[in-house]
Amino acid sequence: MGKNHEEVQLIGTWVSPFVFRARVALNLKSVSYEFLEEKVGAKSDLLLKSNPVHKKIPVLIHHGKPICESLVIVQYIDEVFDGVKILPEDPYDRAIHRFWAAFLDDKFFPALKTIRMVQGEEVQKKLVEIKEGLALLDEALVKLSKGKPFFGGDQLGYLDIALSGFVAWIQVREKTYDVKLIDESIIPNLAAWVDSLRAHPAVKDIIPTADGLIEWVRVNLGPPPAPAAN
Q: Which residues bind another protein (CB under 8 A)?
A: 53, 62, 65, 67-69, 71-73, 75-76, 79-80, 91-92, 94-95, 98-99, 102-103, 136
The nearer residue to another protein, 53 or 219, going by C-beta atoms, is 53
The nearer residue to another protein, 103 or 216, going by C-beta atoms, is 103
- Sequence-separated (6 or more) residues with CB below 8 Å from residue 102: none
- Taking alpha carbons only, the member of 165, 205, 172 closest to residue 73 is 165
User: Contacts by 138-141 with C-beta closer than 8 Å and gap 24+?
Assistant: 138/187, 138/188, 138/189, 138/190, 140/96, 140/100, 141/189, 141/190, 141/193
**Shortest separation between residue 208's beta carbon and another protein, angstroms:** 26
**Shortest separation between residue 125's beta carbon and another protein, angstroms:** 18
**Shortest separation between residue 15's beta carbon and another protein, angstroms:** 22
The nearer residue to another protein, 4 or 196, going by C-beta atoms, is 4
- Sequence-separated (6 or more) residues with CB below 8 Å from residue 205: none
The phi, psi pair for 39, rounded to 5°, reads -90, 150
The nearer residue to another protein, 70 or 164, going by C-beta atoms, is 70
**Shortest separation between residue 135's beta carbon and another protein, angstroms:** 11
